[in-house]
Amino acid sequence: MNIAIINGNRTTAFSGGKAACPFCDAPVIAKCGPQREDHWAHKGRKNCNLGKENETEWHRSWKNKFPTEFQEFIQYDPSGEKHIADVRTKHGLVIEFQHSHLDPKERDARERFYKNMVWVVDGTRLKKDYPRFQKGIGNLATKKMNGYFLVPNPEICFPADWLNSSVQVFFDFLGDMLPDPTDAHRQPLWCLHPKRVDGKAVVSMMSRESFVELATNGPPAPQAPVQPAVNNMMLPAPRMIVDPRFLKEISRLIPELTRMPPRRRYRRF
């Protein structure tokens, strides 16, 4: 875990630190060093839901891409049971990072509880995961609008346990590996959308930087529409507010201004 409690305050790990688990209140100690992300760990094995899955460096690295106040956010269900989301942004979006196998029933339960959430899944957990994706990516039929792909058989690209998720699932096929400039398919995140179009799965890709930026700050504010230029057309005149006293005065003057001058008469000789 990245966050523990000291004197009631959420605290990140520091060398020699001792604190309490935010989930079960048991003592935890700081694990720090140059070879791994700083984190907290229980003293010995504890029956704690937060510590059941031993977090990998991949898991901690993803959480640390977000502000500390977003990490390991505690929520309660109607029965009072405590749930801790990996990340919950200021916009209420929950992000769960999943490396190990997850029972589909547990996945469904989290999706029902959090509702507004997405998954980021380690696509390198099994040796066959990325080769399967590489083999199946050739079946992506490009949709001409907005860069989406339609996949008639998503099971040939993605793990079967994630095909029926009710929320977006982002697959990270880079894992803990160093970026390889020659393998463009590993660089972005590949998103499997929950909806289907004509029976085909909808897939899109997004850079890691864009994902973190969008999740952290939310979508950009819509721009005010700009009135298009009008050629060869007379634009309507702007409305003017006129003082009624001016109208009364101008109506009095109009007869004077429009009255014809008297006809000049000349004497005959």
The C-alpha atoms of residue 143 and residue 21 are separated, in whole angstroms, by 48
Q: How confident is the model at residue 39 (pLDDT cuts 50, 70, 90)?
A: confident
Q: Which of 100, 41, 36 is nearest to 64 (CA)?
A: 36
- In the prediction, which pLDDT does 84 show? 87
* More confident of the two residues 254 and 142: 142
Nearest to 120 by CA among 70, 69, 162: 162
pLDDT for 83-100, tens place per residue? 889 999 999 999 999 999
3-state secondary structure 29-64: EEECCCCCCCEEEECCCCCCHHHCCCCCHHHHHHHC
Mean pLDDT of 3-7: 77
Where on the phi/psi map is residue 163: left (φ > 0), alpha (ψ -120 to 50), or beta?
alpha
Q: For the chain, which residues make up each domain, given as ranges?
A: 1-48, 53-217
Contact 5, 20 (CB under 8 A): yes
With cut-offs at 50, 70 and 90, classify the pLDDT of residue 238: very low
Percent share of the chain, pLDDT over 90: 35
Q: Return the CA Rg of the chain.
A: 33
Place of tokens 């001792």: 18
Confidence band, pLDDT 50/70/90 cuts, at residue 130: very high
| Overall average pLDDT of the 19-35 stretch | 77
